[in-house]
Amino acid sequence: MKKKKIQKGFKFNIYWIYVVIFLFFIGLQFLGNEVAKPTNWQDFNKNLLQSRKVEKIVIVNKEKAFIYVKKEFLSEEQFKNVNKKLIGESINYGPHYYFEIGSIETFNDNLKEAQNEFDEDEKISPLYETRKNVFGDILSWILPLVLFIGVWIFIMRRMSGGGSGSQIFSIGKTQGKLIDKENIKVTFNDVAGLDEAKDEVKEIVDFLKNPLRYTKLGGKIPRGAMLIGPPGTGKTLLAKAIAGEANVPFFSISGSDFVEMFVGVGASRVRDMFEQGKKHSPCIIFIDEIDAVGRSRGAGLGGGNDEREQTLNQLLVEMDGFDTNEGIILIAATNRPDVLDPALLRPGRFDRQVVVGNPDIIGREAILKVHVKKINIGPDVKLRTIARGTPGFSGADLANLINESALLAARKNKRVVTMSDVEEAKDKVMMGAERRSMVMSEDEKKLTAYHEGGHAIVALNEKASDPIHKATIIPRGRALGMVMRLPERDQLSVTREKMHADISVAMGGRIAEEIIFGHDKVTSGASSDIDMVTKMAKNMVTKYGMSTELGTIAYGENEEEVFLGRSVTRQQNMSEETAKKIDAEVKKIVDKGYERAKKILNEKIDDLHKIAKALLIYETLSGDEIRDLILKDIKPTRSFKEDENDEGKSSSALGSLGLKPKPAI
């Protein structure tokens, strides 16, 4: 079917009528309804006065002389331009000419002198009139007023017209957008890896489509569903899928849209939101990032009159108050369920809490299948392998991984995305982009190689440590080098053994620097490692109950984030003596990991030299290459071009390991 072309033309507006009327009166003011031709005293005296053709002279306001020509002479040729009115075809009976007279005494003297030879009945005496320009006076004060009102109406229409700026007249109205089904292309088929969450929300959608199936058994429609999960897991995407599946109106709004600088605006917008929902009942209202408005009450510094609290109170009343809103289902999303008000999460308001967590290996594979539909992938791309190598990745992380792979392949002018592109993109996402332009001296490279080698050796000799994925001395992100470890499977909890192993691995880099270069040559490169092990050891003592000295007691309440002024009112829940014991236990755990890593590196010093020298040659080693080199003494084989300037250094380094690079093909 051919689409009808929309003809764009002039659109009639009633305001144009007022403009035309206004311009008409302006024209009458400046043009008048009569034609009076300007002249001067000489022409007037010569052509009119001396020819006895003047009927009368009218002096207006002692400024202008208006000349009226006798009727019997109007048909003459010289008066053809002044004998008709501007509008119509009737004869103009005057005035026909006018001129400025200057002084009234001088004009009278000249007129008297010009008529000296006239008979008495031929002489003309001027008539004097005083005229007030009423329309002009009115216009002089109406015009500025009309202009001011016009500008004011224009500004107000722009401010209340729906722009994203300051909306004066609609500031108390809801900012929610009514989304039509035709405008939403996302369905449940586009949501992968969230089977349990989909089942929960599918029931809500089915309830709206077939309410009798549930109500005949006495069931009630759920009031709301809270989508809870870390960032990037697909909460908003799930809400879009609900909008795409449900045949009911869908309102979308952000939690921050309720918060304004004006008092009472948030509560007013909540009321208006539910009023709009009633008009379109049954409907779904989606509030994204509800923690912006649903935080716990009584925790702020603003007291009970806090604007955010008033907004929350109104939301609670609208959801489950005396005036219940039947047929309105609220769906909210947040990644901070710990800060939400308990009254918001009780049954009758948000009846269901749907956890949208990070996907497992099966979920990651399903998510990857959705995203690879949009790109051209090669036959060597194995989605199961990618899913196995990306534990802990969220849906957003996987989408970013596939997109980065496509960008890398496009940069290399490839027609399809290969597995190597995916691996390179994975390294970029997990470890950061390579900074090959960063200039590092040979001493810095050597120190970085031994630092990363220390991490790798300890990781290889700690049974509870995760397997090494890759080691590199190429600067990535904010790090000069990195040893990346990946767990073999998804980990839902961490054992004490695993934590001690991670602490030992983290201290391996610092110890390797100290062993190889001496105590005074230790650098600041281990600052992030030290920070990590300190936090881990403190959590082991204060949260996880893994200290024999302090037992299974939680001491970590005081270490929470400062939230809405709670730090002002909360009390210290431990004594100074206990705090000292905690510090001592943290130091004990860190020192134990330090000594364990130091023992491993002293025993495996030859392996440390091997890895460090291999990193200096190849810059990047995979986990398999590291294990083959250390455990099986198998040399890395890869093709690369030698730098002629470093030929001697490369040869000596390789010779010390008994390694020789393959010649470039």
Kindly list the catalytic residues: 452
Antiparallel, parallel or unpaired: β 224-228 and 352-355: parallel
Q: Which residue, 210, 239, 214, 212, is CA-closest to 224?
A: 239
Torsion of CA 117, 122, 123, 128, to 10 degrees: -160
Distance CA 225, CA 243 (A): 14
Structure tokens at 572: 């210290």
Q: From the centroid of its chain, how far is CA 455?
A: 39
Measured distance CA(464)–CA(367) in Å, rounded: 30
List, as one string, the DSSP characters of 107-176. HHHHHHHHTTTS-TTT--PPEEE----HHHHHHHHHHHHHHHHHHHHHHHHHHTSS-SS--STTTTS---
Peptide bond between residue 337 and the one before it cis (omega within 30 degrees of 0):
no
User: How far is Cα 447 from Cα 449, in angstroms, rounded to an integer?
Assistant: 5
Beta bridge partners of 639: 662
> Going edge to edge, which strands form the sheet with 620-622?
482-485, 468-472, 620-622
Number of helices (H) and strands (E), helices first, in the chain? Answer: 22, 14
Tell which residue, 500, 458, 483, has the closest CA to residue 600. 458
Task: Give the C-alpha separation, 287 to 344, whole Å.
Answer: 13
What burial class does residue 202 get, using C-beta atoms within 10 Å of its C-beta: 0-12 exposed, 13-18 middle, 19+ buried? middle
**Contact by Cβ (8 Å): 91, 69:** no
543 secondary structure, DSSP code: T
